[in-house]
Amino acid sequence: MSSVLPWEPEGEIAESKKGPGLSRDWPAARPNRTIRAFCSIDDGALPAVVIPDKEVRKPDEANRVFQDIVLNNISPCRATFNTMINGLCKNGYTDNALMLFRNLQRHGFSPELITYNILINGLCKSGRWRAARMILKELGESGHVPNAITYTTVMKCCFRYRKFEEGLDIFLDMKTKGYTFDAFAYCTVIGALVKTERIEEAYQCSQQMVGNGIELDLVSYNTLINLYCKDGKLEDVFKLLDEIEREGLECDKYTHTILIDGLCRAGNIERAQQHLSYMNDMDFDSKLVAFNCLIDRLCKCGYIDHAMKLFESMELKDSFTYASLVHNLCKARRFRQASKLLISSLNGRMKILKSAQKAVINGLRASGFTRDAKKLQSEIRWAKILR
DNA sequence: CTAGGGTTAG
């Protein structure tokens, strides 16, 4: 098997990137203009994609503190840089994270493996596949040896961008090179196998995980429960739930959602609904995915009106909610209703799948609603401009 | 709390 990793040692490590004096850690003395320029970046220069959260996510404030550190000529340790880069990534400021990374490099900061891992993960999660690849390549040229975290991160990136075979190759590569597997790596792979409906392989993988004596945490249990659910083995699911209880672990929103989806898929909508109301003491945000599962399943079982009622009762909706309904309304040839929903989702600034847009427009046209089709198209165009 | 894993639409 040929190697799939772009960081494989290929001859010598590139010399071109190592200028004189660049091996020392930054900052040596006083930060120069470039660093100041970055640090004096004002709020207007930051992208307006702050992810709201109940946690204390305040990247602007972090940036101010960081400015203070640099401008007052306090030498921050490397962990501070990594923390900053990580914080920027986690809050949607990937571009700024990359800029900071470059600026620091320019000042002789030689990134650690952890810095690369942070950036690759951040870039990947924000949809910057090419940039992620670039950093990965640089990691390969840096002489650092990637660790299990790097591998898991890159695998996850591959799966995220539907490069399943590439991801699985990395998994095999990890084995060949003798990396120790932990629950992170196994769960990443099992999750991808389940998603691609390779249930047999997913079972093999989970047997390996259990056989290797890895202690299962809640995420591992959730992964396994999801596997059994997708395979329709609900009795095994309940066994696992008992086991979770015996271990003294507590189910979280993932567990409940996976279970609700499983019940739905098994055709037990009533029980799914019961379980959803059992989640009543959780906030709506935690129940959203479960609601979406139920809506989709209701539609697929032919209860579209019931699904619409549920939809109207929801205090929070996302693009999944809309996509499910729009697609299923199209399948039922209720194109005008689908169109109405699509427009309201555009007004709510939802991202709508191209496939859903097409389905509605084509459906309207095919059933003679040419004007409605045109109107919808112009709405979509406007939404794109206004976004 | 310096890095990686688990849920839904097509």
Six-digit token string for A39:
């640090």
Cα A24 to Cα A16: distance, rounded to the nearest angstrom: 17
> Distance (Å) from CA A188 to C1' B4?
9
Spanning CA of A355 to C1' of B10, the rounded length in angstroms is 7
Q: Is the pLDDT of residue A38 over 60?
A: no
Q: What is the pLDDT of residue A322?
A: 97
Q: Using alpha carbons only, how large is chain A's radius of gyration in Å?
A: 25
Please name the residue that has the structure tokens 């659910």. Answer: A229
Which residues lie below 8 Å from residue A311, measured CB to CB, with a gap of 6+? A295, A317, A321, A325
pLDDT of residue A354: 94
Distances in Å between the Cα of A238 and the Cα atoms of A70, A77, A206, A209, A223 are 55, 49, 17, 20, 14
Report the 10 Å Cβ neighbour count for A80: 15
Range of the domain at A379: 318-387
Q: How many CB atoms lie within 10 A of CB A72?
A: 7
Q: Is the CB of A345 under 7 A from strand B?
A: no
Q: Which nucleotides of B are covered by protein (CB under 7 A)?
A: 1-10
Query: pLDDT tier at A219 (50, 70, 90 boundaries)?
Result: very high
Classified as helix, coil or strand, A213 is coil
| Average pLDDT score, chain A | 85
Query: How far is A379 from A276, CA to CA, in rounded Å?
Result: 35
A147 is near strand B: CB distance < 7 Å: yes
From the list A327, A264, A317, A267, the residue with the least C-alpha distance to A289 is: A317
pLDDT digits (tens, 9 = 90+) for A78-107: 899 999 999 999 999 999 999 999 999 998
8 Å CB contact between A66 and A79: no
Report pLDDT for A368: 97
pLDDT beyond 80 at A338:
yes
pLDDT band at A108 (very low <50, low <70, confident <90, very high): confident
Identify whether A349 is part of a domain.
yes
Alpha-carbon distance of A292 to A261, in angstroms, equals 9
E-only strand ranges, chain A: none
**Chain A residues 211-250 within 7 Å (CB) of strand B:** 217-220, 222-223, 226
pLDDT of res. A78? 86
**A136 falls within a domain:** no
Check whether residue A343 has its CB closer than 7 Å to nucleic acid strand B: no
Segment A45-55 mean pLDDT:
36
Total domains, chain A: 1
Q: Is the pLDDT of residue A309 over 80?
A: yes
Q: Does residue A348 fall inside a structural domain? A: yes
Residue A287 contacts strand B, CB under 7 A = no
Calculate the angstrom distance between C1' of B2 and CA of A212.
29
Question: What confidence category does residue A114 fall into, taking pLDDT thresholds of 50, 70 and 90?
Answer: very high
Nearest nucleotide by C1' position to the A291 CA atom:
B8
Q: A223 lies in a domain?
A: no
What pLDDT is recorded for position A58? 65
